[in-house]
Amino acid sequence: MFDAPALTVDLDAYFRRIDYDGPREPTLATLRAITLKHPDAIPFENLDVLLGRGISIVPADIDAKLIGAGRGGYCYEQNGLLKRVLTALGFQVEGLMARVQWMQAEGAPARPRSHMVLGVSIDGETWLADSGFGGCVLTGPLRLFSGDVQDTPHGAFRIVDVEHGGVAERQVQANLSGKWAPLYQVAKGAWADIDYEQVNFYTYTHPSSHFTWSMTVGRSTPTARYALKNNRFTHRDVTGAVVEQRDLSAGELEAVLRDVIGLPVAPDWTPVLEKVVAWGTPA
């Protein structure tokens, strides 16, 4: 049962979690600082799905997990938390939905909208903020309705007009070694918090959701991006160039989750990590 979410959040606890001690005014500089620090401190991960626990997006549960327990989460948890933080700081924030296209084969059927992002209004302009997109997470906000190339601490992005089924959307693209790769298409129109409950349930239960049959983990530090797809570990620098890529044993996987990603690995994760290694790297 989904309870109506309170917009309150313990800002002091959140800022300790992300190691932020800067200004708390609702300015673009504050937004940039928070969206850089958040994905460094709070990794993207779907371990609870693979552990059979499901994902609660009730605010108190998100805060207990991501702030109190030192865990990470996926988009509804990450951006749900970020939305409440920004709102508490005085920002005007809307929840939006996007259609993921990242790493999708050319010509593949369109996916339903399943990714939560945020639209943050500052001085009459809408900025896209997203702390919940795995190994290619935004580490700085983007002007949602600008077609210019926009630099972030982890490379250049642009957002272009596209159409899907006669509906206008904005496609976010990342510059990967000189080639523009689509991440997702953002639909216009805000979603109420309660609207995410159904798609969240789909995401952690439906067999077509890759979160139910593969492990996805990511952390973006000020100098690097780290990603795990099952047992395939990839380390990129801030330009997107691959520094290291290799397949890990179960023991190595546990060490990377603990020492590189920063997750509090628990003993009951071991069977899941062994299963992940047996699955290998998805095609």
- Can you say whether the dihedral through the CA atoms of 162, 170, 168, 208 is positive or negative? positive
Identified catalytic residue from 40, 48, 63, 115: 115
CA distance 152 to 165: 31
Strands in the chain per DSSP E: 44-45, 92-100, 115-122, 125-129, 142-143, 150-152, 155-164, 167-176, 179-187, 216-220, 224-229, 232-237, 242-247
Q: Does the annotation count 75 as an active-site position?
A: yes
159 Cα distance to chain centroid = 18
Burial zone of 91 (CB within 10 Å; 0-12 exposed, 13-18 middle, 19+ buried):
buried
Alpha-carbon distance of 278 to 231, in angstroms, equals 9
How many CB atoms are located within 10 Å of the residue 260 CB?
17
Catalytic residue among 130, 136, 154, 164: 130
136 is known as an active-site residue: no
Query: What span, in angstroms and rounded, lies between the C-alpha atoms of 179 and 255?
Result: 33
- In this structure, the number of other CB atoms found within 10 A of the CB of residue 245 comes to 12
Cα–Cα distance list, 129 to 94, 215, 279 (Å): 10, 24, 33
Q: Is 115 a catalytic residue?
A: yes
DSSP one-letter code for 122: E
Distance in angstroms (rounded) separating the CA atoms of residues 53 and 85: 25
Catalytic residue among 48, 75, 136, 154: 75
Report how far apart, in Å, the C-alpha atoms of 258 and of each of 70, 71, 255, 272 are: 11, 11, 5, 15
Find, among 163, 120, 97, 123, the residue nearest to 34 by Cα. 120
Active site amino acids: 75, 115, 130
